[in-house]
Amino acid sequence: MQRLIDAFFNSVRAFRKLASSEKAFQQELMLLVLALPLGWFVSVSWRGYALLIGAVLLLIMVEVLNTGIEAACDAFSREFNVDIQLAKDCGSLAVLISVVIVAGVWGIAIIERILGLPI
89 marked as part of a ligand binding site: yes
Side chain identity at residue 106, one-letter code:
W
Return contacts of 19-25, CB within 8 angstroms, 24+ apart: 22/63, 22/67, 24/63, 24/67, 24/95, 25/60, 25/63, 25/64, 25/67
| Residues taking part in catalysis | 63
Q: Answer yes or no: is 74 a known binding residue.
A: no
22-118: CATH class:
mainly alpha
**Any binding-site annotation on 70?**
yes
Each residue's pLDDT tens digit, 7-54: 999 999 999 999 999 999 999 999 999 999 999 999 989 999 999 999
How far apart CA 72 and CA 82 sit, in angstroms, is 15
Is 108's pLDDT higher than 80?
Answer: yes
